[in-house]
Amino acid sequence: MKGTMPIPTSIPVPPRAPATGGAAADTARPGTGHLVEAVATWARTKAGTPAVTAADGAITYDELADRAAAIAERLRAEGVGPGTAVALLTGRSRLSTPSLLAVWWLGATAVLADERHPADRINLVLRDAGARIVLAGHVPAGAVPAKTTLIDPGGLELSLPASTFTPAVPRPQDCAYIVYTSGTTGWPKGVEVSYANLDTFLTALGTLDFPSGGTGVNAVSPSFDGWLWCTMLYLTYGQTMAIVDLAARDAIGLAEMIEVHEPRVLCLTPTLLSALERVPAAEAIVVAGEPCPPSLVARLADVPRVLNVYGPTEGTIAATCADSRRGDDLTTIGRPLPGYRLRVLNEHRSPVAHGTEGELYICGPAVALGYRNRPELTEERFVPDHIAADGSRMYRTGDLARFRRDGQYEFRGRADDQVKVRGYRVELGEIERIALSVTGVRAAAAFTSATGDTLGLGVTLEPGAEPHELTERLRHRCAMLLPDFMVPAIVTVVAVLPSLPTGKVDRGALARTGGPAAGGQAPSTDRERQVCAAWAELLKRPVEDVTASFFELGGHSLLAARAVGALRRSTGLPLSVHHLLLDPTAASLAREMDQLATQAVTAAPVAAEHA
């Protein structure tokens, strides 16, 4: 890695806005003061620079505060204030950022949600959070509970400048936002993060000394706190946040979707970065959301600066980072961010010796409030910090770690069945409980695929159950209740679930035996063989059935973008992800490619006549 200069300890937040009264000058508010200052400063110094770009347009920095104020005024008219839960279903729109700021300017609680998740899941999240107001242009049928007020942030007039808006001042312990993560009960659990927690994070973010200006890419789900990381990082440093929709109908190759923005800073999960055919020419790359493998660290060796960031949602987005600029080992999770404390404890919650493995606990003012409406689980995971003995709490991460003598922490895996899939936390028990609710399923065990980026499900059946019909019902049930990254790509029917000597399910054995049944229709044309070969290379397995679904073979949205990109490069045809999604079989995609090739040949003479 280039350079070993330590990170400056001063906070490079922009100069304070002059005190003119109103949102732009409010710098003493708990939680979002740093962010409010930054937006006000960039609105003055970068007025015409886009703050956010997305498929539906752009918002400049001078428009951002005014738009946020207009949304906040509308929310205030509905009685929104500290303690009010407001759901954000603005999706991957340019309006997502001013909507978030508006909720925070009122000291209210932002409930993060993704409009692409199943309607039943969104409905449950909104009911559990108590969100009676939803900011959204449109919502899926059945996603919003009855007696909920829908407000379209794009339909509001910008009647007054932000400088005339007087924001509310929340208490430090008021809830700033709720992120729902996978839960062992079969339903997601909401993590409540306070304004005091948020203040700790934003203060730490200001010490990371990223460059000002340029573009940063946000390619994650808006229900994920990685979305907040990107939003607050880019706004703090006056960058343009380019929202990249990996599932866009006209999506091309994954690398091309990112490179078109010429990012100065890039924040991606290791799965996304590993999926790129080439490393983008960014000044800084942030890797976060899941363990960073040594192979990826090696690929990033020529990047001027790389940060490997670690932190569960319960620790307010990020707790540690390994930074190549100060010479950290990027295969570790580095050192605590300012304001954060970590401890490695044994089963009796006593400190272990340096170099000894134990469970990682997060301590200090960034420890979240707990889980929404889950007091027993909160008490179990958020425990008194008996070492500090100051009335504070620690969060039990469930992660195993080792503290090295050089001051860096090594991530050593999990102490339970929680896994990470493409950067998202997944409790395997949530998938298993949904499977067991399907009539005809006797036992179920979820597992990660051999590649680690998709999930599988092994089931045993009750007598008389028909395997094919039941697996189809299982897929449908999971798709109705789970976000796409949690829907099993592979469903395997077995006579008995394999077990370890301990009696626990051998999930590794299921992963080795899982897969679609043999048979199907072999490729019969050169084009079908070309598609099957491209898929086989990405899926790391033979593809011999042109009628098999790309996703049932183990594919997912990121691999779909890579598959399309590879075929575009090898054929020169203008393929998009939409072509694959129309009918995700090799036979169908081969037909689409043949039609595109025919259109290209037909169009060539016409183009020559007009040359």
109-112 vs 175-181, strand pairing mode: parallel
393-403 vs 341-345, strand pairing mode: unpaired
Q: What is the pLDDT of residue 559?
A: 77
- Encode 505-537: b = buried (16+ Cβ within 10 Å), e = exposed: bbbebbbeebbbeeeeeebeeebbbbbbebbee
| SS3 of residue 25 by DSSP | helix
Residue 392: both structure tokens together: 């504070």
Nearest partner of 552 among 471, 611, 463, judged by Cα? 471
Q: What is the pLDDT of residue 133?
A: 97
Amino acid at 153: P
Orientation angle between helical segments 61-77 and 96-105, nearest 10 degrees: 50
Residue 29: both structure tokens together: 């508010």
Min mean pLDDT across 468-482, 508-522, 529-543, 581-595 is at: 508-522
Contact status, residue 289 vs residue 226, Cβ threshold 8 Å: yes
Q: How many residues does the chain have?
A: 611
Nearest partner of 381 among 402, 365, 401, 360, judged by Cα? 360
Phi, psi of 155 (to 5 degrees): -100, 15
Mean pLDDT of the chain: 86
Q: How far apart are CA 35 and CA 26, in angstroms?
A: 10
Of residues 506 and 82, which shows the higher confidence score? Answer: 82
Instruction: Give Cα 163 distance to the centre of its chain.
Output: 33
Outline where 10-169 has alpha helix (H).
33-45, 61-77, 96-105, 119-129
Q: Average the pLDDT over 116-139 and give the result.
A: 94
| SS3 of residue 425 by DSSP | strand
Instruction: Give Cα 79 distance to the centre of its chain.
Output: 31
Compute the CA torsion angle 287, 293, 294, 297 (nearest 10 deg): -20
**pLDDT at residue 455 above 60?**
yes
Q: Tell me which DSSP letter residue 314 carries.
A: G
Q: How far apart are CA 305 and CA 521, in angstroms?
A: 48
Residue 57: both structure tokens together: 């347009």
**pLDDT at residue 293 above 80?**
yes
Q: How far apart are CA 611 and CA 605, in angstroms?
A: 10
pLDDT band (50, 70, 90) for residue 16: very low
Q: What is the pLDDT of residue 14?
A: 36
**pLDDT at residue 9 above 50?**
no
Min mean pLDDT across 119-123, 267-271, 509-513, 599-603 is at: 599-603
Q: Which residue has the tokens 């980026």?
A: 453
Q: What is the pLDDT of residue 252?
A: 66
Q: How far apart are CA 126 and CA 87, in angstroms?
A: 7
Q: What would the pLDDT profile of 319-378 be if each residue is shown by its tens digit?
A: 999 999 999 999 999 999 999 999 999 999 999 998 899 999 999 999 999 999 999 999
Q: Tell me which DSSP letter residue 487 carries.
A: S
Residue 379 CB neighbour total at 10 angstroms: 11
Distances in whole angstroms, Cα of residue 174 to Cα of each of 81, 193, 215, 526: 11, 8, 32, 62
- Judged on CB neighbours under 10 Å (0-12, 13-18, 19+), 140 is middle
Q: How far apart are CA 132 and CA 265, in angstroms?
A: 36
CA angle 114, 422, 213 (to 5 degrees): 70
Instruction: Give Cα 364 distance to the centre of its chain.
Output: 24
Of residues 471 and 305, which shows the higher confidence score? Answer: 305
Residue 530: both structure tokens together: 């070309």
Nearest partner of 50 among 40, 63, 41, judged by Cα? 63
| pTM of the predicted structure, to 2 decimals | 0.79
Q: N- to C-terminal Cα distance for the chain? A: 50
**pLDDT at residue 122 above 90?**
yes
Compute the CA torsion angle 208, 398, 131, 140 (nearest 10 deg): 90
Radius of gyration of the chain (CA): 25
